[in-house]
């Protein structure tokens, strides 16, 4: 009887789950061939092959250019989502980026939003206003809001890709600007993951009279910040897991 080396300290006693976790845990060390996975996990070759097929179907495992098995796209997406949902609010580098963006533009508030169903939620914030906190929700029906417009534009691009079978890139450099009757200006731009999918939206808000001019400088500052944030998350949650 083979001893399966689970990724957890102790097995769950749900055999198929423990075996799948063992394979994913092994692949976290880097791409491997079937013989290498058998050696690392203690699984038989037929069992490893059957589970890898199932994990590939779920997007949890993939193959690299040389045919070795590697962690799949969905693993990276889950890791990235976990960062934005659970760690971004207290991340030193995220807060530093938001504070620097506010300084460069004169905005009173900089936020990062993630979509959750029919709303989007603030997962990180830097603001002069004490009532600006993480957890604030924006309903998706507020179609005039720049943050919502970015999410809706991406959803439309995804729908087009599903309908026509090609990658819609209309949102590659998209930004959305709005000025309301109360004298506030808001600007939003996308943060992507390694695969070019929308991971989050960065927004700036402030009294129009206090914002640094010209407004084009806002766009440049926002674009530079979203690119750095995209690169930082890719480096942390992709390179470490997939190289």
Considering the domain boundaries, does residue 1 fall inside one? no
- Rounded CA gap, 116 and 4, in Å? 37
The answer to whether residues 81 and 49 belong to one domain is no
pLDDT: which is higher, 188 or 13 = 188
**Is 186 found in the same domain as 101?**
yes
89 and 66 in a common domain:
no
Q: Is the dihedral of CA 205, 85, 196, 166 positive or negative?
A: negative
Minimal CA–CA distance to 114: which of 92, 142, 144, 147?
A: 147
Same domain, 115 and 231: yes
User: Is the pLDDT confidence value at 5 over 70?
Assistant: no
The predicted-structure confidence for 29-39, as pLDDT tens digits, reads as follows 999 999 999 99
139-179 pLDDT per residue, tens: 998 888 999 999 998 887 777 666 665 544 444 456 777 77
Same domain flag for 46 and 85: no
| Vertex 83 angle, CA 82 and 86, to 5° | 75
Dihedral sign for Cα atoms in the order 216, 219, 225, 231: negative
Is residue 160, in this structure, part of any structural domain at all? yes
Cβ 40 vs Cβ 26: under 8 Å: yes
Q: Which residues contact 91 (CB under 8 A, 6 or more apart)?
A: 83, 124
Q: Answer yes or no: is pLDDT of 184 > 90.
A: no
The candidate with the shortest Cα–Cα distance to 172, out of 149, 150, 148, is 150
Question: What's the confidence (pLDDT) of residue 174?
Answer: 64
**Whether residue 140 sits in one domain with residue 42:** no
In this prediction, what percent of the chain has a pLDDT beyond 70?
A: 84
Same domain (yes/no): 66, 153: no
pLDDT of residue 163: 66
- Give a yes or no: residue 6 inside a domain: no
- Are residues 82 and 198 both part of a single domain? yes
Instruction: Output the average pLDDT for the chain.
Output: 85
Query: Does residue 9 sit within a domain?
Result: no
Domain boundary among 71, 98, 119: 71
Question: Does some domain include residue 236?
Answer: yes
The structure's pTM equals 0.77
What is the domain count for the chain? 2
Domain of residue 41: give its range: 15-71
Find the CATH number of the domain harbouring 49: 1.10.10.10
Q: What is the pLDDT of residue 166?
A: 56
Cα 3 from Cα 93, distance rounded (Å): 42
Share of the chain above pLDDT 90, in %: 51
pLDDT of residue 172: 46
Residues 58 and 159 in one domain: no
CATH code: domain of residue 210: 3.30.450.40
Boundary-marking domain end, from 71, 92, 110:
71
Residues 236, 125 share a domain? yes
Single residue among 55, 71, 87 that ends a domain in this structure: 71
* Residue 7 covered by a domain: no
On the question of pLDDT at 3 being above 60, the answer is no
Position 158 in a domain:
yes
pLDDT bin (cut points 50, 70, 90) of residue 47 is: very high
């Amino acid at each position: 009887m083979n001893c399966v080396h689970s990724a957890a300290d102790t097995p769950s006693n749900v055999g198929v789950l423990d075996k799948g976790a063992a394979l994913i845990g092994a692949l976290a060390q880097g791409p491997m061939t079937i013989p290498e996975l058998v050696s690392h996990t203690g699984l038989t070759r037929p069992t490893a092959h059957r589970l890898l097929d199932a994990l590939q179907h779920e997007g949890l495992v993939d193959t690299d250019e040389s045919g070795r098995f590697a962690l799949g796209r969905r693993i990276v997406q889950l890791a990235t989502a976990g960062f934005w949902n659970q760690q971004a609010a207290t991340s030193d580098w995220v807060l530093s980026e938001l504070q620097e963006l506010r300084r460069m533009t004169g905005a009173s508030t900089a936020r990062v939003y993630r979509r959750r169903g029919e709303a989007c939620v603030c997962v990180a914030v830097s603001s002069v206003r004490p009532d600006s906190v993480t957890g604030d929700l924006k309903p998706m029906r507020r179609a005039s809001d720049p943050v919502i417009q970015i999410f809706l534009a991406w959803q439309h691009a995804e729908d087009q890709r599903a309908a026509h079978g090609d990658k819609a890139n209309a949102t590659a450099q998209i930004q959305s600007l709005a000025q309301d009757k109360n004298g506030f200006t808001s600007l939003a731009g996308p943060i992507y993951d390694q695969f070019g999918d929308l991971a989050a939206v960065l927004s700036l808000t402030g009294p129009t009279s206090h914002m640094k001019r010209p407004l084009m400088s806002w766009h440049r500052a926002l674009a530079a910040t979203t690119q750095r944030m995209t690169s930082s998350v890719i480096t942390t949650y992709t390179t470490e897991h997939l190289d």
